[in-house]
Amino acid sequence: MKKEFILLFVAFIFCSGNLFSGEHAFEMNRRLGMGINLGNCFEAPEIGGWGVEPDSFYFSDIKAKGFASIRIPAKWSAHAQTKAPYTIDKDFMDTIRWAINSALASGLATVINIHHYDEIMTDPTANKDRFLALWDQIARAFQSYSDSLYFEILNEPNGNLTPELWNDYLAEGLAKIRETNPDRMVIVGAANWGGVDGLSQLTLPQDSNLILTVHYYNPFNFTHQGADWAGMTGGTGVTWDSTAVEVNAIKSDMNIIKQYADQHNIPVYIGEFGAIGNADDASRARWIGCLHSFYNEYGFSGAYWEYCSGFGIYSFAMDCYHTGMLKALTGMEAECDCSVFDTVIVKNSAFDRTTQPWFLNYFPEYGTNAAIKTINGEARLEILSSGTENWYIQFLYSSFLLKKGYTYTLLFDSYASAPATIQADIGRDGGDYTVFHSINAALTTEKKTFATAFTFGGTTENTARIAFECGLANVQYIYFDNVHLYETGPVTSISPKITSSGCVLKVGNNRFTVEGSAIESIAIYDVQGRKCYQKQYGNTNYAEIEDSRIPAGVSFIEVKTDVKREVLKQLR
Active site amino acids = 156, 272
Q: Output the CA–CA distances (angstroms, integers) from residue 37 to 8, 176, 180, 246, 515, in the order listed.
A: 44, 25, 26, 25, 50
Burial environment of residue 440 by CB neighbours within 10 A (0 to 12, 13 to 18, 19 or more): exposed
Q: What 3-state DSSP class applies to 364?
A: helix
Cis omega before residue 306 (within 30°)?
A: yes
By residue count, the chain amounts to: 572
DSSP letter string, 111-143:
EEE----HHHHH-HHHHHHHHHHHHHHHHHHTT
Q: Are strands 448-455 and 519-525 parallel, antiparallel or unpaired?
A: unpaired
Q: What 3-state DSSP class applies to 533?
A: strand
Burial environment of residue 47 by CB neighbours within 10 A (0 to 12, 13 to 18, 19 or more): buried
Q: What is the 3-state secondary structure (H, E, C) of 16-71?
A: CCCCCCCHHHHHHHHHHCEEEECCCCCCCCCCCCCCCCCCCHHHHHHHHCCCCEEE
DSSP letter string, 134-168:
HHHHHHHHTTTS-TTEEEE--S---TTS-HHHHHH
Cis omega before residue 219 (within 30°)?
A: yes
Q: Output the CA–CA distances (angstroms, integers) from residue 182 to 31, 46, 129, 208, 463, in the order listed.
A: 20, 32, 21, 11, 52
Adjacent-strand bridge partners of 478 = 381, 416
Adjacent-strand bridge partners of 467 = 396, 425
Pairwise CA distance, residues 307 & 61, whole Å: 10
What DSSP designation does 87 have? P
Pairwise CA distance, residues 561 & 552, whole Å: 26
**Of the candidates 216, 43, 204, the residue with the CA atom closest to the CA atom of residue 115:** 43
Neighbours of 447 (CB within 10 A): 13
Q: Output the CA–CA distances (angstroms, integers) from residue 375 to 348, 359, 383, in the order listed.
A: 14, 15, 15
Residue 422, CB-side half-sphere exposure with 13 Å CA sphere: 32
Q: 539 — alpha (psi -120 to 50), left (phi > 0) or beta?
A: beta
Pairwise CA distance, residues 425 & 439, whole Å: 7
Pairwise CA distance, residues 370 & 359, whole Å: 12
> Edge-to-edge strand order for the sheet containing 565-571?
531-536, 519-525, 554-561, 565-571
Neighbours of 185 (CB within 10 A): 24
